[in-house]
Structure 1
Amino acid sequence: MYDQSKLSELIRFARIDAGATVIDVYPGAGDWTRLFSDVVGPEGRVTSFVPAEVAHFKNDPVGLMRTIAQEPGRENVEAVSADLVAMPEITQPADVLWLHLFYHDLHTALMQARGATAANFNRAVYERLKPGGFYVIVDHAAAGAGTGDAQSLHRIDPASVREEVEAAGFVLDAESTLLANRNDPHAIKVFDPLIKGETDRFAYRFVKP
């Protein structure tokens, strides 16, 4: 996670407020789900969506999210799992869909093994968001590399992300350089100890018209 100032800024950037309905896609350890739960409060709703494509991981991501949903004060959290493109079928219309360090995975063999592609996932997001809703993407940058480094380095060109998301009908509403790092060489895997946790990252906020 980030320091408190960056967390606060990212929450503002994502337009997540009290009473909002948020879908946290591929929630990892659940840190964002917990944070969003606190922000939206009792009148809001957080759906922690675990793609079926990763549900078999040894850390039991579905079980982990269900445990979080049972924590005291987490009555506004629901943990669900399905194929990526089936997300609209098991979630409620949302104000915000949050995708943190995951978009590049849409271009990997793991995610595509069950038929998911970036194009049909973006269409699924468009379907699930309310009019005026926000699709917020934070990911590891690979400027100029298109989608070619997604599998090998877990990076993606921001321009490619924008092109793909806009093709689904979204409009770019804002971008942030809060997580930029000019010292990232972009040529090494994001898990490399030289850069892990400090990668050059971009943040986009798209809106559904």
Structure 2
Amino acid sequence: MEGETQVSSEVPVVTDDIDVAGLIKESFDAKSSGEADKPSVVERTREMLDAQEKLKELELELERVSAALKHSESENTRMKDDVLLAGEKLDEGGKKYGELEISHKKLQEQIMEAEEKFSAQLNTLQEALQAKETKHQELVEVKESFDGITLELENSRKKMQELEHELEVSSGEAKKFESCTKVVRMLNPRRRGPWSLKGCLRRQN
């Protein structure tokens, strides 16, 4: 990552070809004290071998550190790429969010317009329904009034038929009476018997 201390991957190469004899000679030349103070050749050789092993261990450790450093640099590069990709996705998400917000506002406006239109249509339908109900009530009242008049006319018609029937009966009775009166007048009015007025009426009935 940025700001992270960069460690150089250059590792000094340590050669395995160590001149043991030369090292021993230099060690002997460096010391000017008596022969008793100098270490033996075997001990010096052992020390040199130990030093060689330690150097090899250091080389292996340096190689491991170098490999870890390269891996860390690769991870840092990958993380930088991931950060850039995440930033691009974040920008793209921000743009999409802005577009969605605009679409949401437009949808809210359309919903409000539709609600206002629906409310106006509902008010119109309610007014029309109220007018229809009022008209229906008026028609019901007119029908009830018409039914009352029809019933009165039916009653009047029945009464008229009854009166006509009574008139016919009365007319028939009057005709019978008139006919019997003529018959009786033609005969002797003083004569009693089957040709009296009452007898004539009974015969016609």
- Name whichever structure is richer in strand by fraction: 1
State the TM-score bracket (shorter-chain normalisation): under 0.3
TM-score, structure 1 as length reference: 0.13
